[in-house]
Amino acid sequence: MSMVEHQHGYLHRKDDYLARLRRIEGQARGLQRMVEEEQYCIDILTQVSAMTKALQAVSLGLLDEHMHHCVADAARAGEAEGRAKIDEAVAAITRLVKS
């Protein structure tokens, strides 16, 4: 029996996601530096907000890719597979909304 290797939906934009995550990593280092330098609280909070929005943008992009590729592929494969992927997506959305 041969297993078909599943490719994640975001792979065609992998470089974009990696670039975004590297920018977010830089923002985190910038926040650390701001605290080390004892900068003004509101300025730090402003940067935390920007970093949070950047992470949310990555999350929404990945969720979009997941819904259009993984969930759609599973739904075409069969009802049980489709339901499982939808449940998985709902759980991920729930975690995102609660964070």
pLDDT surpasses 80 at 8:
no
Query: What single-letter DSSP state applies at residue 12?
Result: G
pLDDT-based confidence at residue 99 (cuts at 50, 70, 90): confident
Measured CA distances, 70 to 64, 88, 97 (Å): 10, 11, 21
Q: How far apart are alpha carbons 71 and 65 in whole angstroms?
A: 9
- The predicted structure's pLDDT at residue 12: 74
CA distance 52 to 96: 12
Q: pLDDT for 22-81, tens place per residue?
A: 999 999 999 999 999 999 999 999 999 999 999 999 999 999 998 998 899 999 999 999
d(CA 45, CA 73): 41
